[in-house]
Chain A
Amino acid sequence: MIKGTSASPGVVIGSALLINEEELVILKFISTFELEEARLGQAIASAKLELNVLRESTHKTLGEDKAQIFEAHIMILEDPELLKQTLTIIRRESVNAEFALNTVANQFIAVFETMDDEYLRERASDIRDVTSRLLYTLLKKKKVSLGNLNGPVILIAHDLTPSQTASMDRANVLGFLTDIGGKTSHTAIMARTLEIPAIVGLGNITQKIKDGDQIAFDGETGEVTINPTAEQIEFYNNRHNAFLEMKHELGRMIGLESKTLDGFHIELAANIGTPKDLDALHRNDAEAVGLYRTEFLFMDRTSMPTEEEQYQAYTEVVLGLKGKNCIIRTLDIGGDKKLSYLNIGEEANPFLGYRAIRICLKEPELFKTQLLALLRASVHGPLSIMFPMISSLEEILAVKKIWNELKKELDNKNVPYSHNIQLGIMIEIPSAAIISDILADHVDFFSIGTNDLTQYTCAVDRMNEKIEYLYNPYNPGLLRLIHMTIKNARAKNKMVGICGSMAHQKDLVPLFVGMGISELSMSAMHVLSTRKIIRGLKKSECEKLVEKFLKLGTADEVKALLN
């Protein structure tokens, strides 16, 4: 048995197809500068055309994120240094373009391959992919196409380039195994996106496997067996069945209600960061968006997104939800997230500093731009707005004052907006949780952000390894604060949800149900398994569990009760 790095889960048995890229023979011959410069220029132009086509088709099939790989390839293709150094060799040595290009590319690849940083090391494979595309064009050769396979196979390759994985015949590829690559390499990411089982970083698997060999592997454990015995096949078959059963079991949850045995509905929503995440939301049958983090719209750029840009983005999400509700959180920047164009300044304690609503209230223009975009987008479908890092009633009043002014402004200009927008707050600071009975009179809903609430309630920085043990979801003080918040909201008939990572924690779900939670919001991949849990619960029994919990004093006792 051989072990590699798990890239994408799933168990497969099938016959091997070895992808032996024909070694390109790069001959060196004498030529004229003018001729070779023209050949190189043509090759670059045609490669750029190919990459643009690939970019478009990948955008359609796999989404914008994956398509960006090819954007980066175009940037490499047009890199002035690559071109200049290649032309210099052509001129100085009077040689052909492919020889010069290959020499320069190899120098760059060698530099990147020896880097300590995994991210930069991975860039070597991008350079190889781009230059080999150019070399194939210059040599008028065709690359092995994985677009048309004769039957189901397991691909065995030294590495698969992004171009190969993007154009792969998905119906016939059972899985793939590669010599090189890590969990974050393109190949691994593509495998997970395509839901094709895969193992990477197997060393010299291409030397050990021959074409047509029978292969069995488990993408989750990273184990490969070549020409397995009958006994081993049975072992893999069992694992395969267990994997399918789990997937099937969760698949069965699609379309079912998230209701307890005694008929209480808990809304299961998804946390999203960009419109792209809607795909996973629909696939996993999430009932709404419980948290749309708008930060991504503001990050990785050099200036603030305009009202129009924000309006477009929010509209895209609201329309994409096809009538499901969307809770949009206003900008939560600061803490560990910074914006290049917004100077927050150095702070001794950024998590206790200038962040989220505190910035928005100090920079009203920034805040108003976002709120105006949200108001305008509200005509396209149900939308709620949530404010992060609220620590006092004063902040809510300040927010609502701005909100009412903006609505008046739009009324005066006859700009339409929905009059049913719900306003809510994140409960993530203990001072807000403690007066949640009062705050509930001023907002439509609460969403408990358990990550920050844990950090602030227990005074623990979870990045600090020495005190990591204190960052404990079973802490009874923390859970009582959550309980209190839920009770206070329900007493005023307000919706209350949880959107931190505790929301999908198996053993905590019954406790939250017992406390009376109305919504749980999580990353889409956890929705179906949480629905399965809820459908097995009785609210009346969960309430008894809460009674027992309230008598416990230590985190260990709480954990023992729940497990």
Chain B
Amino acid sequence: MQTTVKVLNEEGLHARPAGLLVKLANNFSSVIELAVGENTANAKSIMSIMGLGLTKDTVVIVTAVGSDAETALAEITNLFNNKFNL
């Protein structure tokens, strides 16, 4: 399953938002990936998420594969849309 989200918060995916995303992703058994252009990142790894260097307004494709993929995508979309405010 796949969905598209946009980074809305000013500071981009800095340590705090990246940490929140990792925490959220770890609640799901699905394999979750973020993709920007050629680059992909494991949503459960802080290093690979920060490594994408996501800044404001970047469009990200989120892919989830697994039994809880649908909920995972919904909650991740929510997190992005709320500018990483839970």
Q: Are B46 and A341 in contact (CB under 8 A)?
A: no
Contact A302:B86 (CB < 8 A) given known A115-B53, A117-B53, A120-B50: yes
A contact residues around B15 at 8 Å (CB): 119
Q: SS class of chain B's interface: helix, strand, loop or mixed?
A: mixed
Interface string of B1-44 (1 = CB under 8 A from A): 00000000000101110001000000000000000000001101
Q: Are B86 and A75 in contact (CB under 8 A)?
A: no
Q: Are A341 and B85 in contact (CB under 8 A)?
A: yes
Q: Are A111 and B51 in contact (CB under 8 A)?
A: yes
Q: Are A340 and B85 in contact (CB under 8 A)?
A: yes
A contact residues around B47 at 8 Å (CB): 76, 79, 81-82, 108, 127
Q: Are B86 and A108 in contact (CB under 8 A)?
A: no
Q: Are B53 and A79 in contact (CB under 8 A)?
A: no
Bound-complex Cα distance A341 to B86 (A): 5
Query: How many residues from A make CB contacts under 8 Å with B?
Result: 24
Within 8 A of B (CB), among A112-142: 112, 115-117, 119-120, 123, 127
Bound-complex Cα distance A116 to B85 (A): 25
Bound-complex Cα distance A116 to B12 (A): 12
Which residue of A82, A120, A341 has the most chain B CB atoms within 10 A of its CB atom? Answer: A120
A-B contact count (CB 8 A): 48
Bound-complex Cα distance A127 to B15 (A): 14
Q: Are B48 and A81 in contact (CB under 8 A)?
A: yes
Bound-complex Cα distance A267 to B1 (A): 64
Q: Are B16 and A300 in contact (CB under 8 A)?
A: yes
B84 within 8 A of A: yes
B contact residues around A338 at 8 Å (CB): 85
Contact A302:B20 (CB < 8 A) given known A117-B53, A119-B14, A338-B85: yes
Query: How many residues from B make CB contacts under 8 Å with A?
Result: 18
Q: What's the least CB distance linking A47 to chain B, in Å?
A: 16
Bound-complex Cα distance A339 to B84 (A): 11
Which residue of the partner chain A has the closest CB to B15?
A: A119
B contact residues around A343 at 8 Å (CB): 85
A80 within 8 A of B: yes
B contact residues around A119 at 8 Å (CB): 14-15
B45 within 8 A of A: yes
Contact A123:B42 (CB < 8 A) given known A302-B20, A338-B85, A341-B85: no
Q: What's the least CB distance linking B86 to chain A, in Å?
A: 5
Q: Are B46 and A75 in contact (CB under 8 A)?
A: yes
Q: Are A79 and B46 in contact (CB under 8 A)?
A: yes
Which residue of the partner chain A has the closest CB to B42?
A: A81
Which residue of the partner chain A has the closest CB to B41?
A: A81
Q: What's the least CB distance linking A356 to chain B, in Å?
A: 19
Bound-complex Cα distance A338 to B42 (A): 29
Within 8 A of A (CB), among B30-74: 41-42, 44-48, 50-51, 53
Q: Are B51 and A112 in contact (CB under 8 A)?
A: yes
Q: What's the least CB distance linking A300 to chain B, in Å?
A: 7
Q: Are A82 and B45 in contact (CB under 8 A)?
A: yes
Bound-complex Cα distance A300 to B20 (A): 10
Q: What's the least CB distance linking B34 to chain A, in Å?
A: 12
B contact residues around A108 at 8 Å (CB): 47, 51
Interface string of A446-459 (1 = CB under 8 A from B): 00000000000000
Which residue of the partner chain A has the closest CB to B23?
A: A302
Bound-complex Cα distance A338 to B84 (A): 12
Interface string of A527-539 (1 = CB under 8 A from B): 0000000000000
Q: What's the least CB distance linking B3 to chain A, in Å?
A: 22
Which residue of B12, B15, B44, B85 has the most chain A CB atoms within 10 A of its CB atom? Answer: B85
Interface string of A258-287 (1 = CB under 8 A from B): 000000000000000000000000000000
Q: Are A79 and B45 in contact (CB under 8 A)?
A: yes
Bound-complex Cα distance A339 to B83 (A): 11
Bound-complex Cα distance A296 to B22 (A): 23
Additional A-B contact list (4), CB under 8 Å, known A76-B46, A108-B51, A115-B53: A81-B42, A116-B53, A117-B12, A117-B14
**Interface residue ranges, A against B (CB under 8 Å):** 75-76, 79-82, 84, 108, 111-112, 115-117, 119-120, 123, 127, 300, 302, 338-341, 343
**5 sample A-B contacts, Cβ–Cβ < 8 Å, listed by A number:** A81-B41, A82-B45, A115-B53, A340-B84, A340-B85
**Interface residue ranges, B against A (CB under 8 Å):** 12, 14-16, 20, 41-42, 44-48, 50-51, 53, 84-86
Which 5 A/B pairs are nearest by Cβ-Cβ distance? A81-B45, A340-B85, A81-B48, A111-B51, A79-B47
